[in-house]
Amino acid sequence: MKKVAVLGAGVMGLACAYELLKRGYQVDIYEADDRVGGMSAHFDFNGMSIERYYHFICKTDHDLFAYLAEFGISDKLHWVDTRMGYFYDGKLYKWGTPPALLSFPKLDLISKLRYAVHAFISTKRRDWSGLDKKEASQWIRKWIGDRAYKVLWEKLFALKFYGYKDNLSAAWIWTRIRRIGLSRRSLMHEQLGYIEGGSETLLACFQTAIGRLGGRIHLGLPVEKVIIEQQKVIGVKTRQAEENYDIVVSTVPLPFVSRLIPSLADEQREQYNNISNIAVVCVIFKLKRPLTENFWLNINDERMQIPGLIEFSNLRPLDAHIVYVPYYLPQQHPKFKLSDEQFKAEAKSYLQMIKADFGSEDIIDMHVSRYRFAQPICPPGFLENLPPIQNTIKNLYIADTSYYYPEDRSITESVKLGKKIANLIQA
Ligand X SMILES: Cc1cc2nc3c(=O)[nH]c(=O)nc-3n(C[C@H](O)[C@H](O)[C@H](O)COP(=O)(O)OP(=O)(O)OC[C@H]3O[C@@H](n4cnc5c(N)ncnc54)[C@H](O)[C@@H]3O)c2cc1C
- Binding residues for ligand X, rule: CB under 6 A, are 7-13, 30-33, 38-40, 53-56, 222-223, 251-253, 256, 260, 280, 282, 326, 371, 374, 400-401, 409-412, 414
Distance (Å, rounded) from C-alpha 220 to C-alpha 32? 5
Q: Which is nearer to ligand X, 42 or 348 (CB)?
A: 42
Strand, coil or helix: 57: strand
User: Smallest distance, Å, CB 367 to ligand X?
Assistant: 14
User: Smallest distance, Å, CB 192 to ligand X?
Assistant: 9
CB neighbourhood size of 178 (10 A)? 23
Q: Which is nearer to ligand X, 374 or 377 (CB)?
A: 374
* φ, ψ dihedrals at 143, nearest 5°: -80, -45
Q: Which is nearer to ligand X, 104 or 157 (CB)?
A: 157
Task: Express the helix, strand and coil content of the chain in percent, nearest 5 each.
Answer: 40, 25, 30
Q: Which is nearer to ligand X, 282 or 299 (CB)?
A: 282
Going by C-alpha positions, the residue among 59, 186, 64, 175 that lies closest to residue 126 is 175
User: Smallest distance, Å, CB 357 to ligand X?
Assistant: 29
DSSP letter string, 145-195: HHHHHIIIIIHHHHHHHGGGTTS-BHHHHHHHHHHHHT-EEETTEEEEEEE
User: Smallest distance, Å, CB 333 to ligand X?
Assistant: 16
Q: Which is nearer to ligand X, 222 or 330 (CB)?
A: 222
Distance (Å, rounded) from C-alpha 278 to C-alpha 298? 19
User: Smallest distance, Å, CB 313 to ligand X?
Assistant: 15
Q: Which is nearer to ligand X, 223 or 422 (CB)?
A: 223
Q: Which is nearer to ligand X, 63 or 246 (CB)?
A: 63
Q: Chain-centre distance of CA 402, in angstroms?
A: 11
Q: Is the peptide bond before 290 cis (omega within 30 degrees of 0)?
A: no
User: Smallest distance, Å, CB 108 to ligand X?
Assistant: 33
Residue 109: exposure state from Cβ atoms within 10 A (0-12, 13-18, ≥19): exposed
User: Smallest distance, Å, CB 235 to ligand X?
Assistant: 14
Going by C-alpha positions, the residue among 341, 362, 340 that lies closest to residue 351 is 362
